[in-house]
């Protein structure tokens, strides 16, 4: 039994565990501490809302969890595997196979269709074109975007673009989904629709999802709510 399993009290490794994470930045002659001995565990199929004011460190926490940024201290465990000492190539491989990301802006490739945007991460991972196309179509159908498969992002509505982005995030069947204000650019009606699609996808796939949001109504519909207080992760 590895350290992540033992600390979490589980019989199997958790999808994501942050243990004793500290992170700060130089600010002039001083130092700005963002996280100090912060801990977080995500369970399979669990939706966790990260609610905190701007500047509190939400993006830093997500970047560390997503192996996009290294902590000053502490360890990141993904499926029980310690990732802190991994080199850049290993971290990239872990992101490609275990992690999915959704941002406030969809970041779709404008020259490619919705279908091609979903195929791209699968092809990069090494799947053959036919298999990637079949999975991409399946995901678009699940997100009720099948008829829009051959449309480019500029031909899709904001809500459609974000649903494509969510589908793309899970195209490689990750264990963890990290989302930073995924409905922040959408009107309330479209936001609710996109959020419902995201929840359905998490429930169906058994993903562990950490979603940063300012929308308290959406946060209240998730399994747990956490915030950043005194540079630590606390339940609310």
Q: Averaged over 73-94, what is the pLDDT? A: 94
Phi, psi of 131 (to 5 degrees): -65, -40
Q: Averaged over 138-146, what is the pLDDT? A: 90
Q: What is the pLDDT of residues 13-31, one digit of tens each?
A: 899 999 999 999 887 788 8
Task: State the CATH number of the domain containing residue 65.
Answer: 3.40.50.300
Q: Does residue 214 belong to any structural domain of this protein?
A: yes
Q: Averaged over 75-82, what is the pLDDT? A: 95
Q: Does residue 13 belong to any structural domain of this protein?
A: no
Q: Does residue 62 belong to any structural domain of this protein?
A: yes
Number of domain units in the chain: 1
Confidence of residue 150 (pLDDT cuts 50, 70, 90): very high
Q: Does residue 110 belong to any structural domain of this protein?
A: yes
- How much is the pLDDT for 10? 45
The reported pTM is: 0.84
Q: Does residue 145 belong to any structural domain of this protein?
A: yes
Q: Does residue 151 belong to any structural domain of this protein?
A: yes
Q: Does residue 32 belong to any structural domain of this protein?
A: no
Q: Does residue 211 belong to any structural domain of this protein?
A: yes
Question: What is the distance between the alpha carbons of residues 200 and 202, in angstroms, rounded to a whole number?
Answer: 6
Q: What is the pLDDT of residues 169-192, one digit of tens each?
A: 989 889 999 998 888 778 888 888
Question: What is the distance between the alpha carbons of residues 69 and 63, in angstroms, rounded to a whole number?
Answer: 5
Domain of residue 202: give its range. 42-72+83-235
- How much is the pLDDT for 11? 66
């Amino acid at each position: 039994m590895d350290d992540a399993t033992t600390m979490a009290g589980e019989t199997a490794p958790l999808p994501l565990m942050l243990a004793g994470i500290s992170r700060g930045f130089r600010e002039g002659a001083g130092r700005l501490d963002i996280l100090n001995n912060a801990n977080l565990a995500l369970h399979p199929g669990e939706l966790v809302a990260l609610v905190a004011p701007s500047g509190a460190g939400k993006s830093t926490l997500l970047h560390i969890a997503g192996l996009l940024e290294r902590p000053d201290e502490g360890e990141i465990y993904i499926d029980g595997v310690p990732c802190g000492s991994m080199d850049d190539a290993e971290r990239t491989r872990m992101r490609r196979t275990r992690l999915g990301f959704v941002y406030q802006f969809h970041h779709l490739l404008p020259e490619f269709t919705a279908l091609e945007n979903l195929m791209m991460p699968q092809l990069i991972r090494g799947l053959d074109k036919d298999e990637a196309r079949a999975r991409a179509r399946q995901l678009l159908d699940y997100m009720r975007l099948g008829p829009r498969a051959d449309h480019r992002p500029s031909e899709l509505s904001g809500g459609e673009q974000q649903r494509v982005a969510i589908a793309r995030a899970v195209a490689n069947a990750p264990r963890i989904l990290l989302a930073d204000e995924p409905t922040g650019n959408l009107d309330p009606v479209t936001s609710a629709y996109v959020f419902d699609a995201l929840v359905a996808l998490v429930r169906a796939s058994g993903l562990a999802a950490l979603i940063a949001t300012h929308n308290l109504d959406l946060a209240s519909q998730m399994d747990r709510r956490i915030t950043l207080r005194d540079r630590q992760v606390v339940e609310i």
